[in-house]
Amino acid sequence: MTASAIPISFLPSVEFDAQLIRKLNQVGPRYTSYPTADRFTADFGYRDYLQAVTGARARSNTHPLSLYIHIPFCESICYYCGCNKIVTKDRSKAVTYLSYLKREIEMQGRLLVGANQIEQLHFGGGTPTYLSDAQMEDLMTHLRRWFSFASDANGEYSIEVDPRTVTRERVHALRRQGFNRISLGVQDFDPDVQIAVNRIQPESETLEVISAAREAQFRSISIDLIYGLPKQNVITMNQTLTKVIAANPDRISIYNYAHLPHIFKPQRRIAEADLPDADTKLDMLALCIKRLTEAGYIYIGMDHFAKPTDDLAIAQRQGRLHRNFQGYSTHVGADLVSCGVSAISAVGATYSQNVKTLDEYYEQIEQNELPIARGIKLTMDDLLRRIIIQMLMCNFELSVASIELAYPISFKTYFAAELEKLRGLEQDGLLTIDDEWISVTLKGRLLIRNICMVFDRYLNAAADVPHTTGAAEARPLRHSKTI
C-alpha cells in the first residue's frame, strides 16, 4: 500500500515517549491566547476596546465574528474545578444575570451594527444549561435581534452541556434553538472517582444525552475527560475509555488535572492521598493515546482528539485550524466578541477581559459601559510571536518563509536566541529545523507547549527577573504542567 493509499485514521498522529516527557515536563501556558491572560493589565479599558472595534470595522465590515457567551452558574461544586463560576441553587440569581447580560449583548450589538455577521457561537460556563429552556429561548432570540447568524449549515454553534442538567427533550430544544454542536462534560465514568470529585453522573444519564443529541442531529458531539483525578488508575481509565469509545463521539478532549489547591479553593476538598502519582498519570496518558488512536481518532493537539471526518481534523489537514479561548476552532482569524462575567474578547490586535464578580459586572453595565476590567494591546512583536505560536500549535510546523513574507524581519536574526534554544529541543527529538521549516516530530507533539514557550517573550523575561522585584513580568504563573 502506498502512503497516499493509507486511510488517514491509520497514519500516526502522535507518539508517546515516556522518557522524554519525564525529562521535559514543566509548568507552562496552554496558549489559548498570546500573550497569555496573566499578562493583561488594568491599563486597558473600555475606551481601548472601542478603539479596537473602530479599527477592526475600518479594516473590514464583512469579516464574520465569533461570539462567546458566559453563563457562570452551577448547581453544585466539582472539587477539581478551576473555572470562574458561581455555585448556587437560587435561580433568581440567573434572572438578574440575564437581564444584565442582555444589556451587554445589546451594547455590543449596537457597536457592531453592520459588522455583526456571526459564524461561530459558543456558550460556556459554569453551566450554560443552568438556564431553563425558556431562559435559553429568550436569550437566543435576543442574540438574533442584535447579531446576524449564518445558516445552520455554515455556522458552528456550540454549547457546553452538563448531562446532569438536561433531559432528552431539552437536548432537542437546544438543537431547535440553533445549537449544532454539543460538548458534554463527563470527566470519568468510574463511580468512585465521581464520588471523590463530587460529580455523581450515572453513565446511563450521559449515554441518554448522547443518544438524544444524535437523534436531534447535532453535527458534532464532543466528550471531555480528565486524567489525574483522585481514585483514578490505569484500570479505571481503561474502563472509562472503553465506554467512551463505544459511545462514539466525534471529538474527545482529555485534560490533565492540575492540582493547585493554593489557587483553586474547591480543590482543597480533594484528598491528596487519593491522587495518582506522576508515573500513574503518565501511564494513563499513554493508555488514552493508544486506545484513542487505535480507535481511529486523530491527535489534533493539546488534549484534543477527533475523528478524521470531523471538521477539526479536516481543518488541520487543510492548514485552516485556529486556536482561541475555547480551544481549537475552524474559523481562522475571526474577531471574538465575548459577553458575560469574566469573558475574554479578542478584537483586532487586542485582548480584553470583563470584570470577574457579579457586583462589578452589574455596576459597570448600570453606567452604560461595557464591563471591561483589563486587557492588552498587542505590539508588532506580540503579533509576530502570536502567529508563530498559533502555527506551531495548530499545524505542528512553521514555514520560515511565510513569516518573513508577512513581517519585515530576517527570521534567523530576529529569533537567533530562540533558534539556539530550539536546537536543544531538536537534539531531544522534539522537532527538526532547516532553513525553510520548523517541523514538530510525532513525539514532540505532546510537548508542543515546550516548543511554544521558547517564543514566549514574557515567560522568558520572567525567567530572567528575580521574583522579589515585583515586576509585572515576574509574576508567578498560574499554569499547569505541560503533561
Which helix or strand (DSSP H or E) is residue 299 part of? strand 298-301
Q: How far is the CB of 58 from ligand SF4 (least distance, A)?
A: 38
d(CA 316, CA 322): 9
Beta carbon nearer to ligand SF4, 267 or 441: 267
Residue 460 phi, psi (nearest 5): -70, -35
- Binding-site residue total for ligand SF4 (CB under 6 A)? 11
Beta carbon nearer to ligand SF4, 79 or 305: 79
Per DSSP, what are the bridge partners of residue 432?
439
d(CA 225, CA 336): 26
- Return the exposure string of 116-141: e unless at least 16 CB atoms fall within 10 Å of the residue's CB, then b: bbbbbbbbbbbbbbbbebebbeebbe
Beta carbon nearer to ligand SF4, 166 or 334: 166
d(CA 315, CA 311): 6
Which helix or strand (DSSP H or E) is residue 184 part of? strand 181-187
Should residue 341 be labelled a site residue for ligand SF4 when binding is judged by CB under 6 A?
no
Should residue 77 be labelled a site residue for ligand SF4 when binding is judged by CB under 6 A?
yes
Q: Binding residue for ligand SF4 (CB under 6 A) from 74, 86, 136, 229?
A: 74
Should residue 162 be labelled a site residue for ligand SF4 when binding is judged by CB under 6 A?
yes
Beta carbon nearer to ligand SF4, 162 or 428: 162
Should residue 372 be labelled a site residue for ligand SF4 when binding is judged by CB under 6 A?
no
* Interface of this chain with ligand SF4, residues 272 to 331, rule: CB under 6 A: none
Q: Residue 459 in contact with residue 31, Cβ under 8 Å? A: no
d(CA 347, CA 50): 10
Q: Binding residue for ligand SF4 (CB under 6 A) from 21, 78, 105, 171?
A: 78
Beta carbon nearer to ligand SF4, 54 or 132: 132
Should residue 125 be labelled a site residue for ligand SF4 when binding is judged by CB under 6 A?
yes
Q: Which residue has the cell 490533565?
A: 256
**Angle at Cα 102 formed by Cα 100 and Cα 104, nearest 5°?**
70
Grid coordinates standing for 219? 453535527
Should residue 70 be labelled a site residue for ligand SF4 when binding is judged by CB under 6 A?
no
Stretch that binds ligand SF4, among 79-87, 305-313, 327-335, 369-377 (CB under 6 A): 79-87
Should residue 122 be labelled a site residue for ligand SF4 when binding is judged by CB under 6 A?
no
Q: How far is the CB of 259 from ligand SF4 (least distance, A)?
A: 14
Should residue 83 be labelled a site residue for ligand SF4 when binding is judged by CB under 6 A?
yes
Residue 345: name the closest of 149, 150, 113, 68 by CA.
68
Should residue 375 be labelled a site residue for ligand SF4 when binding is judged by CB under 6 A?
no
Q: How far is the CB of 475 from ligand SF4 (least distance, A)?
A: 24
Q: Which residues bind ligand SF4 (CB under 6 A)?
A: 74, 77-78, 81, 83, 85, 125-127, 162, 185
